[in-house]
Amino acid sequence: MLYLPPLNSLRSFWLVTQSGGIRAAAEKNNIGHSSLTQQIQKLEGALGVRLFDRSERSLKLTKEAENFAKEIDNAFQIIANATNLLIRNKKNILHIGCSSSIAIKLLIPLVEKFNEEHNLFKVKLITPCTIESIHENNLDGIFSVEKDEEDKFHKNKFLSEELCLISSPNSRHLIDDQQVKLIGIHAPGWYEDWNNFFIRNKKILPTEKIVWVSSPLVAIQAAADGVGISLMTPSLIRDDLQSRRVKKMTHPQHIQLTRDINFYTPKENPRSQSMEIWLDWLSQKASLYLTSGDWL
């Protein structure tokens, strides 16, 4: 049989370590200072280990307690994730995150179509989000052009496209014109596009020509307004091309830069049946788009 210390005491210990002290934990969680102190003492008695070095001005974990605190934090995170998963499944809602650009230009009509076709559960978009905020926002998954550098997530490649050059339909500028501005996107996953473009073309990036904007949406607007030339994925400018708000520019060589939009889910959360249905449906729509140029 597993031995567990008093769970209320364990939770009190976790709250104190997360808040940095008993006073801060008491104020943050609306718990009496003396009650927290008693619970910590009770836990130390149950474990037979001193957990904190106490002084008049500070409360510091003992060396013995440092690893214990990390493992307890991991355990509470697992409990929180399991609870969130249970609640979401009960509500029959998948909470999916993405950037504002991906939501507006790509996902909103797809999610609306999915929700029309499926009655067992619904998909709700949460935006703006980055992969680093997937736990903070209690998301089931997230669409992102960012890379999972630390291998924290399961990855499904949703869409992979070659970037294209876009500008205002009235623009006559070429990429090598001295006066032309290059619109760079100062957002995760987009920073290095122009640098990589010039490396592929064996040229040096003219940094003085770059105008930085905050998102792909702003970059598309800037290109349409004639500010300069932007690098963009075809799926995000599909409507803009059809309405002739922007145009694709020709280039003597293939740009050979691809942009992947991936769908990430936390590794610690098992994928539900609802998630598998959603991913299968998305895969079919992506295949339809790549073969016909249309999503729905």
What is the average per-residue pLDDT within 126-136? 85
CATH classification of the domain holding 36: 1.10.10.10
Residue-wise pLDDT tens digits, 244-256: 999 998 776 666 7
Q: Kindly tell me the number of DSSP H helices and DSSP E strands found in the chain.
A: 10, 12
H/E segment holding residue 192: none
Domain-located, residue 1: no
Specify the higher pLDDT residue, 137 or 231.
231
Computed over every residue of the chain, the mean pLDDT equals 86
Nearest-angstrom CA–CA distance, 205 and 185: 15
pLDDT confidence of residue 224: 94
Q: Which of 140-149, 196-205, 247-256, 262-271 has the highest mean pLDDT?
A: 140-149
CATH classification of the domain holding 137: 3.40.190.10
296: closest CA among 109, 123, 115, 98?
109
Alpha helices by DSSP H, the chain = 7-19, 22-29, 33-47, 63-91, 100-102, 108-117, 193-200, 216-224, 238-242, 273-292
Give DSSP secondary structure letters for 128-142: S--GGGTTTTT-SEE
Residues 174 and 227 in one domain: yes
**Token digits of residue 134:** 């997937």
Instruction: Reply yes or no on whether the pLDDT at 77 is more than 70.
Output: yes
What is the average per-residue pLDDT within 279-295? 84
Instruction: Reply yes or no on whether the pLDDT at 54 is more than 80.
Output: no
Instruction: Reply yes or no on whether the pLDDT at 82 is more than 80.
Output: no
Q: Which residues, in sequence order, are bridge partners of residue 255?
A: none
| 161 neighbors 235 (Cβ within 8 angstroms) | yes
Name the residue type at position 85: L
Check whether the bond before 234 is cis (ω within 30° of 0): no
Residues 178 and 204 in one domain: yes
Q: Cα(first)–Cα(last) distance of the chain, in Å? A: 55
Confidence at 85, pLDDT banded by 50, 70, 90: low
Instruction: Reply yes or no on whether the pLDDT at 90 is more than 60.
Output: no
DSSP letter at 207 equals G
Nearest-angstrom CA–CA distance, 120 and 216: 34
Residues 21 and 151 in one domain: no
Instruction: Reply yes or no on whether the pLDDT at 98 is more than 90.
Output: yes
Instruction: Reply yes or no on whether the pLDDT at 172 is more than 70.
Output: yes
Of 20, 43, 78, the residue at which a domain comes to its end is 78
Residue-wise pLDDT tens digits, 6-28: 888 889 888 988 888 888 888 88
Q: Which residue has the tokens 């100062």?
A: 186
Instruction: Reply yes or no on whether the pLDDT at 132 is more than 70.
Output: yes
Nearest-angstrom CA–CA distance, 240 and 158: 21
Domain interval for residue 137: 92-156+260-292
Specify the higher pLDDT residue, 59 or 151.
151
**Token digits of residue 55:** 């002084």
- State the total domains in the chain: 3
Q: How many CB atoms lie within 10 A of CB 202?
A: 6
H/E segment holding residue 4: none
Residues 138 and 267 in one domain: yes
Residues 108 and 250 in one domain: no
Domain-located, residue 238: yes
pLDDT confidence of residue 1: 62
Specify the higher pLDDT residue, 263 or 254.
263
Residues 100 and 33 in one domain: no
